[in-house]
Amino acid sequence: MKDFTGKFAVITGGGTGMGRELARQLVAEGCNVAMCDVSAANMAVTKSLCEAEGAQGVRVTTFVADVSDEAAMNAFRDAVARDQDTDHIHLLFNNAGIGGGGGFVSGDREGWERTFNICWGGVYNGCRAFLPMLMAAEAGHIVNTSSVNGFWASIGPNTPHTAYAAAKFAVKGFTEALITDLRLNAPHIKCSVVMPGHIGTQIISNSRKVLTGDDSDTLSDAAVAQARARMAGMMGAAAEGLSDDQIHAFMAEAARRFHEDAPMTAAAAATVILDGVKTERWRILVGDDAHRLDALVRETPEAAYTPEFFASFAAEVGWIVGG
């Protein structure tokens, strides 16, 4: 699909980050956008940015839905048909996701399943809900956001990362298998798997809000305790001696650095994703770090989970280690 003008795009997780930037760039190209998110307030900001910059006559609509909830996603689909006044869509961006659920052995099961059900279940529910509307278009494209953690199940040797990696591998495997299924059964629909490296977004604070159900910018007592336990995994007993204020400051600084010191912005990432759709690439690596990691894991798969592999890769691409 080379031209987005006059098309209909659905974006999950349009409230911030890459979802917001996809919405802005699509609207700037004359594409109608329907987004969902758990945050109505963040979607309102995205909508006003789109409307300030977008072409005349383009519709931008919002709907509060949790992508892990099948009934909510079906309600979102019905709202898209009603609010956009269409029986078909051309583009589906299953973008919503959170980080979390790191530990399987000793971590909290609820957080594990919440992370998995959003990162994998959101893609599955999005495809199930919107496939009929894609089938009804003359051309369609499904864009599923995985991660470098869809081919490399780690964020470093000192931090368990099981739920997110399992979900992102599932997104990648499902999307790759869809290539053949679509070619056989719906050849007018293409699909792509997106694998970003480190992109500067607010995913750290957004994930905490989704996992705790607490929308405030201040960490709850439970979140401080969880952060202290995670830090103990990284820095040992020294974490026990930190005050709550020090934990707050450490977490805020880690989130700030993740957002502001990233090698690529969310806007630049959205451009790479949309270029990948236009050139019909099924695998869209986003960022130099993602390309390098892809090459390294292929070159030395047995070494991929050793501390030396991570240290050398992180130093080469400039990843921030340990917050």
Ligand X SMILES: NC(=O)c1ccc[n+]([C@@H]2O[C@H](COP(=O)([O-])OP(=O)(O)OC[C@H]3O[C@@H](n4cnc5c(N)ncnc54)[C@H](O)[C@@H]3O)[C@@H](O)[C@H]2O)c1
Selected binder of ligand X within 26, 37, 63, 144 (CB under 6 A): 37
Selected binder of ligand X within 32, 62, 115, 145 (CB under 6 A): 145
Sign of the alpha-carbon torsion through 238, 239, 243, 247: positive
- The C-alpha atoms of residue 163 and residue 111 are separated, in whole angstroms, by 9
Q: How many residues make contact with ligand X (CB under 6 A)?
A: 31
Per-residue buried b or exposed e for 16-29, using 16+ beta carbons within 10 Å of the residue's own CB: bbbbbbbbbbbbeb
Binding letters toward ligand X, positions 208-227, x by CB under 6 A: --x-----------------
164 included as an active-site residue: yes
Which residues lie below 8 Å from residue 299, measured CB to CB, with a gap of 6+?
none
Strand partners, 191: 142
Selected binder of ligand X within 142, 166, 199, 242 (CB under 6 A): 199
Residue 285 is a binding residue for ligand X (CB under 6 A): no
Integer angstrom CA distances of residue 287 from 85, 146, 196, 197: 36, 14, 6, 6
**Pick 39 or 226: Cβ nearer ligand X:** 39
**Pick 219 or 239: Cβ nearer ligand X:** 219
Q: Could you give the 3-state DSSP secondary structure of residue 193? A: strand
**Pick 45 or 311: Cβ nearer ligand X:** 45
**Pick 174 or 239: Cβ nearer ligand X:** 174
CA atoms within 13 A on the CB side of 48: 5
* List of residues contacting ligand X (CB under 6 A): 12-13, 15-19, 36-39, 42, 66-68, 95-98, 118, 145, 147, 196, 198-199, 201-203, 206, 210, 266
Catalytic residues: 164
